[in-house]
Chain A
Amino acid sequence: MKVRDVFCHDITSLSENMTVRMLIRTMSLTRNHAVPIVSKDNRYYGCIDVYDIIDACLPDYMKGLTSSAILPTKFYDNLRSIQARKISEFVDRNYPFVSPDDSLNYAETIFNKTKRRTLPVVRKDTFLGILTQLELLTVVLKD
């Protein structure tokens, strides 16, 4: 089986000019922890994971810590302060993605290696949809 057989044909995405507030709103309403970013000329640009935003809000002295069990109040102040900033500042241009022709085994390897739960599906700069690890596991069990 290939990625094209299982991915979700949903191209809901944001342009890089949107704000962090709009990004969080979109994540919350779509229940996706990662939102693909597509430029105004409709080319895939990258992706933002909620952890990219969390990381950006952590005070400098906490960055690099593997566990942040107790978040300081400063974290929420930082989140409020970046809400009007453009998401272009936070886009991960190297966020992993898969193509429709990739095998599911390859996709699962990417999920495990990168610890991401959502991967954009891209062909020649065109964003086609998303593949979630849960979807992949569900399909494997049904097969």
Chain B
Amino acid sequence: MIGTVTINPALEKLYFIEDFTVNRLHRLSEVQGVQILPGGKGVDISRLLKNVGLDSIALGLAGGNNGRVLLVELRKTGVTTGFTPTENETRTNIYILDNKNHTLTQINESGSCVDEDDIHLFMDQYERVVQQVDIMVLAGALCPGMDRGFYRELVLIAAEAGCRTFLHASPDILEASLPCGPTCILPDMRMGGLFFGHKLRSPDSCILAGSEIIGRDPDIELVVFSHLVRQDGMLVAVTRNRAMIFKPDDSSYVNLFGFSNAIVAGIVYGMSHQKSFQEAMYYGCAFGYAVTREREKSSPNLDVIKSYLPKIRCCEERSL
């Protein structure tokens, strides 16, 4: 069984507007439309896994009307939920996709604060659920005001229960949480900035940063960098003894919605099927590239994902 944690989920509204312009009234037609989805990194990963036949339990914090809608929509996809209810409203994220001008405008709320009771109740639920999962994915932003090292304790509790963990979050959260012994980390570099003092602008800098982090935290087995996808669709993976650079034959994409979440889902899928890190990375790439080919935020099925596997190459491999 897989578990996912989304501390600060969002109800996502995607508007498809041709020729989107500011200072203008846009009425949505049926053709253009709107899509409402449960969102947040862990939630996305649970949905993707369910679509390829892997059950998961999604945990986190959710409240208010948005929280209720989010959980109802998530359960409709077949995911089991165990969210802790909060008094404050779950945030809304708005995406405006303009396929004529090929633009994507995003408005992400920061989310509501949570109180001590929320955290206390969440921990109570987490400590029990972690007993029944093999891999726990801790992904995404924390709520405003929360300790940036919050994931650290969750990783340690999971380790005590014999559960492997994936950490997928922004550099500030990862830096505050490590070292704590996750199995795999994938930094979310969408906001740019430094990662442990490194500017990650090339595969070389990613490999250097990855091997440094692995050196500092003896339990980390895999560090993945997905943000170079804009440069020829590159993905960089660093393990204890080697670095790999993956590329698809065709690196074009329609959008990058949930690209990194799909990579995590793919690696989790591979590892839960006892694949090696290299094989799991192929699945990660295939999941990732499959979601970038759709106009809408999608959860491709296993046949679609497998059709991408032969199109991915490990174009460079270095011993470390």
Q: Name A's B-contacting residues (CB within 8 A).
A: 8-15, 17-18, 22, 25-26, 29-30, 38-42, 126, 128-129
Contact = CB atoms under 8 A, between A and B. Distances in A.
A41 B131 contact: yes
A135 to B, nearest CB: 12
Interface string B124-136: 1101110110000
Most buried by A among B117, B124, B131: B124
A29 B85 contact: yes
A29 B63 contact: yes
Contacts of B63: 29
Contacts of A17: 124
A22 B81 contact: no
Contacts of A126: 132
B132 A42 contact: yes
B125 A8 contact: no
Interface string B103-133: 0000000000000010011001101110110
A25 B117 contact: yes
Interface string B44-81: 00000000000001000001000000010001001111
B170 interface: no
A56 to B, nearest CB: 21
B82 A11 contact: yes
Contact of A14 (B81, B124, B132): B124
Nearest to A18: B124
A22 B121 contact: yes
B90 interface: no
Contacts, number: 58
14 contacts: A9-B79, A10-B80, A11-B82, A12-B82, A12-B85, A13-B82, A13-B125, A14-B124, A18-B121, A29-B86, A39-B128, A42-B129, A42-B131, A128-B80
B19 interface: no
Nearest to B75: A9
Closest 8 CB pairs of A and B: A29-B85, A42-B131, A9-B80, A11-B82, A42-B128, A30-B85, A10-B81, A15-B124
A129 B128 contact: no
A46 to B, nearest CB: 14
Contacts of B127: 15, 40
B84 interface: yes
Contacts of A41: 128, 131
A17 to B, nearest CB: 8
A42 B126 CA distance: 10
B9 to A, nearest CB: 14
A99 to B, nearest CB: 16
B83 interface: yes
B57 A10 contact: no
B308 to A, nearest CB: 30
